[in-house]
Amino acid sequence: MAPHADGAATSSTSGNNDVPARFHASSTDSAIAAENEYAAHNYHPLPVVFARGQGIHVWDPEGRQYMDFLSAYSAVNQGHCHPELVKALADQAARLTLSSRAFYNDVFPRWAEKVRAVFGFDMVLPMNTGAEAVETAIKIARKWAYKVKGVPQGKALVFSVQDNFHGRTMTAISLSTDPESRDNYGPYVPNIGAYSPSTGKAIRYNNIADLEEVLEAHGKETAAFIVEPIQGEAGVVVPDDDYLSKAHALCKKHNVLLICDEIQTGIGRTGRMLCSEWSGIKPDMVTLGKAISGGMYPVSAVLARRDVMLVVEPGTHGSTYGGNPLGCAVSMRALEIMEEEDLTAQAERLGWIFRESIIAFKSPIIQTVRGKGLLNAIVIDESATSGRTAWDFCVLLKEKGVLVSQNQRIVPWSSAFPGLFFFFFSFFLFFFFSFFLFFPSGKLGREEEVTRPKRGGRQEMR
């Protein structure tokens, strides 16, 4: 018999008695079984099912409570189901949800003004998902290269770096060097990627000499260089303090647009509204997504200078849902909450406490900790864990009520930071140190032992 996820949600997990019970799986096991049977197998999640969320906490269908330290890959920086975001969503949903861009609506222009005020860029182009924002930025850069820079038609180049993650659309995987994202999906989009056309060498992240070499050889035909201020999917890799500023200078020298992909690093996650602010630069373009709507509704954006953005002409790019009033209302409120609750400064402060506390703990199991603000990773030394892997670490923490994710040996840590989060953060550090005392001997259930992801398996952090 096929698995069936239907069933009544208990009042302890539904959180809203008006939500029809048929929308919710009755148990963790039935939800996982039905997803495995009927949905594509393009993820390998931890065996926990979210049924309700509030702030830093989530509950499964059985009512078990967890602390969420992944925050939907930094999409719920304001916390799960922030009441002000729920209200903004409900209020606007009752008024107007969609106009398309065939007509004006009364919310989108206010949102555009808000984005301009918060981030300081001349213009914004709205989309829905992070990958769409990346695709849009590449399109704009190419058109700018042809119309403004004078690159011959069909010759514009866009460079990325090794181990990047910009999504999993065809353009994004063409930028990528990750075999898991690329294999058996070719042929790829031409003239974009992380390799030098003349030498075939990869452009390494945090290696300014590699970028200089490729721009010296191909700068005249190059439209843009796209880079993450911190590489999230690669394991929260933080570059040298001057890497972005030197890359910015090289791009200026060769009249190349610098695109910073801030879909995960933006909206306060690293202790600045944009992570690139740490380098004292203003990129030519920025892509945003995830927490720009607080995890309530898909909203993404490309920010750019006026002269760059205005190469886009009516009818040449768009989205039915891009700039819709519902998403814009939620996004405006999400940005206001970042300001009202001082979450950006809180991320900087708590992130520093977290890293310094981990370093001071001096556990032989921890190889290193790295990050900025509340985007952090712990690298596990598996030679000191009696055969336990980073996946085992995540499963054992899940059994103790704390949720994180892993990437090979690397445990990426990022956390929601609602207003009262400091209490939870202090509690977590105490719990974390206690946990590491018994981690090498911690017991796993049989199912969790056999469902480890294959070595090299990567979880999406976009």
Confidence of residue 390 (pLDDT cuts 50, 70, 90): confident
Answer whether 50's CB lies under 8 Å from 58's CB. yes
Angle at alpha carbon of residue 210, lines to 206 and 215, rounded to 5°: 120
Of the two residues 461 and 425, the one the predictor is more confident about is 425
Residue 262 CB neighbours (<10 A): 31
Residue 390 CB neighbours (<10 A): 22
Residue 299's SS3 state is coil
Residue 168 has a pLDDT of 96
- Is residue 16 predicted with pLDDT exceeding 80? no
> For the segment 278-321, what is each residue's pLDDT rounded down to a tens digit?
999 999 999 999 999 999 999 999 999 999 999 999 999 999 99
Mean per-residue pLDDT for 418-425?
55
Residue 377's SS3 state is strand
Residue 430 CB neighbours (<10 A): 10
- Is residue 444 predicted with pLDDT exceeding 70? no
What span, in angstroms and rounded, lies between the C-alpha atoms of 143 and 161? 22
> For the segment 357-370, what is each residue's pLDDT rounded down to a tens digit?
889 888 888 888 99
> For the segment 78-124, what is each residue's pLDDT rounded down to a tens digit?
999 999 999 999 999 999 999 999 999 999 999 999 999 999 999 99
Tokens of 297: 């509704």
> For the segment 154-171, what is each residue's pLDDT rounded down to a tens digit?
999 999 999 999 999 999
Confidence of residue 404 (pLDDT cuts 50, 70, 90): confident
Confidence of residue 407 (pLDDT cuts 50, 70, 90): confident
What positions carry a catalytic annotation?
A: 165, 261, 290
Q: Name which of 431, 401, 298, 439 is nearest 56 in CA terms.
A: 401
**In what order do the strands lie in the sheet containing 52-54?**
52-54, 57-59, 65-68, 402-403
The set of residues, in sequence order, having a beta carbon less than 8 Å from that of 71 and lying 6+ positions away, is 77, 295, 414, 415, 416
Residue 3 has a pLDDT of 59
- Segment of 220-224, 354-358, 378-382 carrying the highest mean pLDDT: 220-224
- Show the domains of the chain with their CATH numbers: 42-78+343-450 (3.90.1150.10), 84-340 (3.40.640.10)
Confidence of residue 389 (pLDDT cuts 50, 70, 90): confident
- Is residue 460 predicted with pLDDT exceeding 60? no
Answer whether 125's CB lies under 8 Å from 319's CB. no
